[in-house]
């Protein structure tokens, strides 16, 4: 039972480069989320999706784009990476209502030089 799988686990980028983080879930969850974790700030929501083909902005969406072409996949893109995007990125999924537990992937550690 894989749950939520994130790839890659680590990545180093140079300023201005682009990349895509992939999140896949096998629990048939409707909702998917991308968070970033920075020291002393907990997790902050970047973008989320309430179903296949839908995306919406979270608290800190600038500099990121997302796509949810398939229900099980949620992609996070950085078009032109900046050092401020150095962070640990977590993907999560849930059934969708307030009571539903969000299940997290193992995280992607990204460094932008």
Partner 1 sequence: AQKVTQAQTEISVVEKEDVTLDCVYETRDTTYYLFWYKQPPSGELVFLIRRNSFDEQNEISGRYSWNFQKSTSSFNFTITASQVVDSAVYFCARSETFQGAQKLVFGQGTRLTINP
Query: Which residues bind to partner 1, rule: CB under 8 A?
Result: 31, 33, 40-45, 48, 50, 56, 58-59, 88, 90, 92, 94, 96-107, 109
Taking the least distance from each CB to partner 1, the nearer of 84 and 100 is: 100
Please state the closest distance from residue 49 (CB atom) to partner 1, in A: 9
Taking the least distance from each CB to partner 1, the nearer of 16 and 51 is: 51
Please state the closest distance from residue 40 (CB atom) to partner 1, in A: 6
Contacts of 47 (CB under 8 A, 6+ apart): 33, 34, 55, 56, 57, 58, 61, 64, 65, 66, 76
Taking the least distance from each CB to partner 1, the nearer of 28 and 97 is: 97
Q: What share of the chain is helix, strand, coil (3-state, %, to 5)?
A: 5, 50, 50
Are 113 and 83 in contact by the 8 Å Cβ rule? The answer is: yes
């Amino acid at each position: 039972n894989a749950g939520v799988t994130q790839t890659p686990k680590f990545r180093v980028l140079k300023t201005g480069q682009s990349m895509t983080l992939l999140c896949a879930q096998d629990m048939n969850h409707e909702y998917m989320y991308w968070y970033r974790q920075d020291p002393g700030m907990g997790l902050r929501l970047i973008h989320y999706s309430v179903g296949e083909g839908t995306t919406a902005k979270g608290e800190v969406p600038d500099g990121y784009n997302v796509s949810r072409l398939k229900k099980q996949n949620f992609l996070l893109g950085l078009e032109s990476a900046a050092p401020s995007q150095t962070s640990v990125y977590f993907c999560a999924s849930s059934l969708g209502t307030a009571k539903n537990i969000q299940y997290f992937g193992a995280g992607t550690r990204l460094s932008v030089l």
